[in-house]
Amino acid sequence: MTGLTKKNPDEMKPAILQLTMIGMLAGLSNSVAAPAVTRLNPPSALFTFGDATPPYISRFMVGQRFDLQATVKADAGKVITGAAFTVDGSPVTGTTTVTSIGGDRYNVVLRAYSSVAVGARTLTVLAQQDDGLTVAASGNFEIVGTTVQGRKAKNVIYLIGDGMSLAHRTAARIVSKGIAQGKAIEPLAMDTLPVTAILNTPSLNSIITDSAPGAACYSNGNKSNNGQEGVFPDDTTDKWDNPRVEHMGNYLARTQGKALGIVTTADVEDATPGSFSAHTQDRGAGTGICDMYLDEAVAKHNLRVLLGGGRKWFIPKGQPGSGRIDSLTASGADYVVPAELATGWGVPTGAQDPGRDLIADFVTAGFVYAADGTAMAAIPAGTTKLLGLFHTGNMDVSLDKIAERRGQPAVGTVATFPDQPLLEEMTDKALEVLNRNAQGFVLMVEGASIDKQAHNMDTERFVQDTIEFDRSVARCIAFQNANPDTLIIVTADHECAGVAIIGSSNVTNAQLVTRAALGGTDGVAGAINGAAGVATDGQTQLRSGVVNTYDSAAFPVYDNTTSGDGYPVTMDADRKMLIGYGANGDRYEDWLQNVQPNVNPAVRDTAGDFFIAGQATGAGVQSAVHTAADIPMSAGGRGSSLFGGTMDNTSVFFKVMQAVIGGAK
Ligand SMILES: [Zn+2]
């Protein structure tokens, strides 16, 4: 099919249908209308563009379960009375349900299909209308097998630095390890991993992914639309009925008895943790995502460790700190899945239960619960199930947690949620608990606020959270040294904020503090007081007077030893490293550490009068955005030799599966 360029599926009617439509319209004068298939899942270029050739959009492991789904549009006033799926011409066994979804459209679904036939398979849906007219449409997918190659990985550790690309890593190395005469004094822990690859990150519907598809692809090998996790897009508004793809945790629990662990510094309902076990078209449906952790992940994925923030989803509605939502449709919604899905996947239907005490239910299911770092450190020896919720929302960032430990004034929400553990401490505890499972485990550790603070263009906080993340990588490498059958993958879900290390400060911190208050010397704050081409006070005081580039940037020096806790004594070192943002929102910049986190960058640091207009985001709270840049991946341990080169982010899943099932040399 030449002349057709591939575009976003939702923008383009299937080529075959278009031709059929044209044919039909031509023949209208002498024939009747016909039903049409407007969507066929799994997504494929065959269905959307008529292109049967690789790359196959959807790929699955041998035996990995996924749903078959089609949207069929009937003629006006007609009814779709039946439908069936075939693969390579053979009828698919199982229950196919046909549900009217309004607008003469019907949702046709067959749940939890799987195949052992390695290679490209052709999927066809056939639907019949009550007047006898039928319609068929085809797509394809690939079934991926494994080969026996050598010793297998028993444990898999994914470390995801949310939004972390090369520049974030480099900035963390400059600050935490130091550079002398051009050489890193010491590598980051992630630098010591022997294998490197480059990953493409687009989602199913955009070159710019968000964290849901950006992480889910590592957990199930497939793309999804932005904001969606563990599912393919469909045409219903129901958040919970989408065609599902089985997660690695579920698959390996079912086939090898492995345990699953999820650790994050974000709210545990957030996209990256949610993408390792939930199935929903709404990454924000927190009540349901957290209920699903117990109802499905504990029961089916052998979830044994869940650590992070997000306690609000676990507290009964009406009690202090609760965020549970009494709705199936609103933001933060609870979940109920269709009966046919529950039957097809062997999972509970769920319930709209705002009054549920989810912490109590986890404890009933055998979990030890910890609400702070001290409690987590003190869990009983031999614990095999651990739930730790250290904040009602996202945890505070490492810069602020460390300040608390150093006895400095509390900032952020540290005072309300004291004694939150650091990511490396949560990682240690997760490894200790998961390692008690004889069949091994899959662990996902997320450094979430690298992304959140890069969005906020808060340099000091995203850099320090990258350091916290790297210290967690170090803990995993130490674990791998003691447990050689462990595969470690360190990567990101996407790049955030277009981070660029532009140089260093030309002045001491004290001088910078002075300059940051000088901007308003003419008494008029803001960029508007500078005529075209005439520098504003801020541009004079804080840019041309401060930013050293090229050789005058030299080597910024940070003290990481005096603190004794492994973190920089201060991020406001003299002649500090300076960061620019290529995907920025509006902000005022004074290069100094912000006292408080999460302040709107457009109303922060105004005294310096150095306004930098953003390239993205409009009115309201300003935020830098994700970019489409490829991201780095580092791998070490058992099976890491399988990785390398440049590949699509979904390929990581299949290589991990090869390492676990077939082994590697
Ligand atoms: Zn983000």
Domains in the chain with CATH codes? 9-144 (2.60.40.10), 155-498+626-662 (3.40.720.10), 508-581+584-612 (no CATH)
Least confident among 284-293, 536-545, 641-650: 536-545
What is the distance in A from the centroid of ligand 1 to the CA of 650? 19
Residue 556: pLDDT band (50, 70, 90) is very high
pLDDT of residue 9: 46
What is the distance in A from the centroid of ligand 1 to the CA of 466? 14
CB-based burial label for 26 (10 Å; 0-12, 13-18, 19+): exposed
What is the distance in A from the centroid of ligand 1 to the CA of 263? 18
Q: Is the pLDDT of residue 227 over 90?
A: yes
Q: Is the pLDDT of residue 535 over 80?
A: no
User: Helices 459-482 and 166-176 sit at what angle, rounded to 10 degrees?
Assistant: 90
CA separation, residue 114 to residues 66, 257, 503 (Å): 6, 19, 53
pLDDT of residue 622: 86
Q: What are phi and psi of 257, to 5 degrees?
A: 70, 20
> What does the CA dihedral 226, 55, 200, 155 come to, rounded to 10 degrees?
90
β-strand partners of 336:
350
pTM of the predicted protein model:
0.93
Alpha-carbon span 635 to 190, nearest angstrom: 8
- Residue 25: other Cβ atoms inside 10 A: 10
Q: Is the pLDDT of residue 23 over 70?
A: no
CB-based burial label for 38 (10 Å; 0-12, 13-18, 19+): middle
Number of H helices, E strands in the chain: 18, 28
Q: What is the mean pLDDT of residues 503-531?
A: 74
Q: What is the mean pLDDT of residues 387-393?
A: 98
Q: Is the pLDDT of residue 418 over 60?
A: yes
What is the distance in A from the centroid of ligand 1 to the CA of 450? 9
pLDDT of residue 520: 54
What is the distance in A from the centroid of ligand 1 to the CA of 566? 27
Average predicted confidence (pLDDT) for the chain: 93
Residue 7: pLDDT band (50, 70, 90) is very low
What is the distance in A from the centroid of ligand 1 to the CA of 603? 21
Using an 8 Å Cβ cutoff, are 204 and 223 in contact? Answer: yes
What is the distance in A from the centroid of ligand 1 to the CA of 212? 10
Q: What is the mean pLDDT of residues 159-177?
A: 98
Residue 630: pLDDT band (50, 70, 90) is very high
pLDDT of residue 532: 56
What is the distance in A from the centroid of ligand 1 to the CA of 474? 24
Give the percent of the chain with pLDDT over 70.
92
Return the structure tokens found at 4.
């057709």
What is the distance in A from the centroid of ligand 1 to the CA of 616? 14
Q: What is the mean pLDDT of residues 338-367?
A: 98
In order, the DSSP letters of 311-375 are GGGGSPTTSTT----S-SSSTT---B--HHHHHHHT---B---TT--HHHHHHHTT-EEESSHHH
CA separation, residue 103 to residues 77, 99, 100, 236, 518 (Å): 9, 12, 8, 11, 63
What is the distance in A from the centroid of ligand 1 to the CA of 578? 21
What is the distance in A from the centroid of ligand 1 to the CA of 248? 23
Q: What is the mean pLDDT of residues 411-435?
A: 98
What is the distance in A from the centroid of ligand 1 to the CA of 269? 15
Q: Is the pLDDT of residue 83 over 50?
A: yes
Closest CA to 440 of 261, 298, 276: 261
What is the distance in A from the centroid of ligand 1 to the CA of 210? 6
What is the distance in A from the centroid of ligand 1 to the CA of 624? 9
DSSP state of 423: H
What is the distance in A from the centroid of ligand 1 to the CA of 572? 25
Omega cis (within 30) before 42: yes
What is the distance in A from the centroid of ligand 1 to the CA of 46? 32
Dump pLDDT digits (tens) for 459-498.
999 999 999 999 999 999 999 999 999 999 999 999 999 9
Q: What are phi and psi of 347, to 5 degrees?
A: -120, 160
Using an 8 Å Cβ cutoff, are 384 and 429 in contact? Answer: no
What is the distance in A from the centroid of ligand 1 to the CA of 228? 14
> What does the CA dihedral 166, 172, 405, 314 come to, rounded to 10 degrees?
0
Alpha-carbon span 34 to 7, nearest angstrom: 26
What is the distance in A from the centroid of ligand 1 to the CA of 267? 14
What is the distance in A from the centroid of ligand 1 to the CA of 491? 15
pLDDT of residue 641: 98
Q: Is the pLDDT of residue 267 over 60?
A: yes
Three-class SS state of 641: helix
pLDDT of residue 541: 85
Alpha-carbon span 624 to 608, nearest angstrom: 20
Residue 534: pLDDT band (50, 70, 90) is low
What is the distance in A from the centroid of ligand 1 to the CA of 497? 8
pLDDT of residue 620: 80
Residue 22: pLDDT band (50, 70, 90) is very low
Alpha-carbon span 263 to 196, nearest angstrom: 24
What is the distance in A from the centroid of ligand 1 to the CA of 443? 21
pLDDT of residue 123: 98
What is the distance in A from the centroid of ligand 1 to the CA of 163? 6
What is the distance in A from the centroid of ligand 1 to the CA of 196? 23
pLDDT of residue 618: 72
Three-class SS state of 406: coil
Using an 8 Å Cβ cutoff, are 262 and 387 in contact? Answer: no
pLDDT of residue 517: 86
Distance between first and last Cα of the chain: 41
